[in-house]
Structure 1
């Protein structure tokens, strides 16, 4: 950690450290999902949304569009916050909080990306294959 006070202006060195931190793929390891996040002026109960969706095992068809929209909004919010971290006049405390919020958003995006969205075309194809196998099995049993 940096030894500067929280209310001091953010140093270039510390800014680079924080930017490097939010860019690391491993930054979200062990990171908790944020309880809530403000996206474009609207507070969203992110943790509850992710866990409710994950609890269902797969993303139900009626929630797919909503999950995709939330991911897109989170991605846009992450980009805005990263740009702010790159160029805004911030105190050390503000920059640390901003970096932490970016990592939390990354964690939420990762959790939402890992939700299973069944591919209906693959399911239909698999059903056709199973039907064909049953039919061939039936014909084999008749012809024997």
Structure 2
């Protein structure tokens, strides 16, 4: 009986409904939550390191004009690769495992594109500043609560 497997059943081909599900997940609004930017991606025969690039840029205090141009170029290259991956996922015959791997890579590329856009627009620095301000405020409130608790404990 042919069940669409080879190697003893370990390589089931992806079904159309599974394919549609993976594509739908990529196209949802919050697809990127929990997704990791790939450490290595092959683009036009070259190994690229999107994770390292995004990390380097996030940790820069300010960006030069040249770095902003590099970000734009990087976004364009990643978008092209993401489109190719998504088209493959949509049309290519592959196993479930291959499809999941490709879907994860595609989601990671989309995450990298979003992060690079935020870096270029300064959104990531603004969010970081807001986080630190909120953390500082919460910490101050927590210290005040402890001091009040200790004062009340001394009275008793």
The structure with higher relative contact order (CA 8 Å, sep 6+) is 1
Give distance in 1, aligned partners of 2:10 and 2:39.
Answer: 24
Find 1:57's aligned residue among 58, 61, 67: 61
Report the CA distance between 1:117 and its aligned residue: 4.7
> Which residue of structure 2 aligns with residue 18 of structure 1?
22
Give distance in 1, aligned partners of 2:21 and 2:65.
Answer: 41
Runs of 5+ unmatched residues, structure 1: 119-144
Give a deviation string over 1:4-55, Cα, whole Å, max 9, x none. Answer: 9651111011011111011112110122221121112211111111111111
TM-score, L = length of structure 2 = 0.68
Give a deviation string over 1:70-89, Cα, whole Å, max 9, x none. Answer: 10000010001100011111
Give a deviation string over 1:75-105, Cα, whole Å, max 9, x none. Answer: 0100011000111111111111110110000
> Which residue of structure 1 aligns with residue 11 of structure 2?
7
Indicate if the aligned counterparts of 1:6 and 1:93 stay in contact, CA closer than 8 A: no
Structural RMSD (CA): 1.7
Indicate if the aligned counterparts of 2:68 and 2:120 stay in contact, CA closer than 8 A: no
TM-score, L = length of structure 1 = 0.74
4+ long deviations beyond 4 Å: none
Give distance in 2, aligned partners of 1:43 and 1:25.
Answer: 29
Give distance in 2, aligned partners of 1:72 and 1:116.
Answer: 13
